[in-house]
Amino acid sequence: MAAARRYDPDRRQRIIDAAIRVVGRSGIAGLSHRSAAAEADVPLGSTTYHFATLDDLLVAALRQANENFARLVRDLGVLRAPPAGLAAALAGAMGAWLAADRAHAELEYELYLAAVRKPVLRPVAAEWSRALEEPLAARTDPATARAVVALMDGLCLQVLLTDSPYDEEYAREMLGRVLRE
């Protein structure tokens, strides 16, 4: 008699969360269906059922990582800031994101930058930019919105790559220059 299949509606999400933990601990090179399955405590077949390829799993992990910053921006009401306060609100959001969990910020950028070598991740990496550019463009214009997102990316990368502290006042000033505040 065959064993009854266990209903597990959260399994796919547990696998994504496990993949993110594996990447955080071992880097992208350490991620495999097997390592994700072991971390999620699910059978290997579950990972290949939900994610036919490792790239599919990386796409899901990056998409989830993208959502973390977007959620923070929404939760802080950054895009509802008054026109003269947008630079300060954006600088504050970056500071909150970097201060919340540096290891998680590093992990999110590792997934984001993996798109340099994995073309399948590029559209997902671009989703992050568009998710911020589109509402910013409604506040400024498309070219300025792209410049703001590029500056934010650069500022975050500098902090993560140089181990220097985040300078919110500097970020606010530079964002203000781009936004012409």
pLDDT digits (tens, 9 = 90+) for 85-113: 999 999 999 999 999 878 888 888 888 88
User: What are the percentages of helix, strand and coil residues in the chain, rounded to 5?
Assistant: 80, 0, 20
Domain check: are 36 and 116 in the same one?
Answer: no
Domain check: are 92 and 168 in the same one?
Answer: yes
Domain check: are 156 and 92 in the same one?
Answer: yes
* Structural domains in the chain (count): 2
User: Positive or negative, the Cα torsion across 120, 19, 15, 66?
Assistant: negative
Tell me what percent of the residues of the chain surpass a pLDDT of 70: 97
4 within domain boundaries: no
Domain check: are 135 and 173 in the same one?
Answer: yes
**176 and 157 Cβ atoms separated by less than 8 Å:** no
- Domain of 101? 62-179
Domain check: are 24 and 77 in the same one?
Answer: no
Domain check: are 124 and 97 in the same one?
Answer: yes
CATH number at residue 24: 1.10.10.60
CA distance 164 to 169: 14
134 within domain boundaries: yes
Mean pLDDT of 131-145: 92
Mean pLDDT over each residue of the chain, to the nearest integer = 90
83, amino acid identity: P
Angle ∠(60,131,96) on CA atoms, nearest 5 = 90
Is the pTM higher than 0.85? The answer reads: no
Measure Cα distances from 88 to 78, 141, 144, 172, 179 in Å.
9, 18, 16, 5, 11
